[in-house]
Amino acid sequence: MIRDCRLEDGPDIVPLLAQLGYPTAPERVPHRINEWGAEPGRHLLVADVDHTVAGLAALCLIPLIHRDQPLARLVALVVDDRHRGAGIGHALLDRTEQIARQSSCEEREITSNRSRDGAHRFYRRHGYEDWCETSARFRKQLHAG
């Protein structure tokens, strides 16, 4: 079952974030869940399998100055190693696409580390194209100092 993330899901989210490559201190997770829930246009979803969080998806709806419709950006999608291949990633992706359509989004983009070949195959199977050949993406680390 795909549902909104709740505070009590925090302990189950910590290992998922680690599997995604982002080790997170358990005490930081409740704050992050609250932040996501407080902002309109942010959707933090989990896949609940027998009362255990088996997957996580984070979707942001971003207003654009050059379009009337927002952009839907999937910033995280992870399925627990023990549950991969069971259709959970597909269900999470479908639910985020449904939210995007209901929000009048015409496009959706996914950010994914170049090293995640398996994830890239998954996205291609679901109709996504890698646009980094035609569009540059720039990033700069900002540190308080």
The per-residue pLDDT for 125 is 85
- SS3 state at 96: helix
The per-residue pLDDT for 75 is 92
User: What tokens appear for 91 in the block?
Assistant: 């269900």
Rounded to 10 deg, the angle between the 29-38 and 10-19 helix axes is: 100
Residue-wise pLDDT tens digits, 7-34: 999 999 999 999 988 999 999 999 999 9
Residue-wise pLDDT tens digits, 66-111: 989 999 999 999 999 999 889 999 999 999 999 999 999 988 887 7
Structural domains of the chain sorted by starting position, each given as residue range(s) with its CATH number in brackets = 2-125 (3.40.630.30)
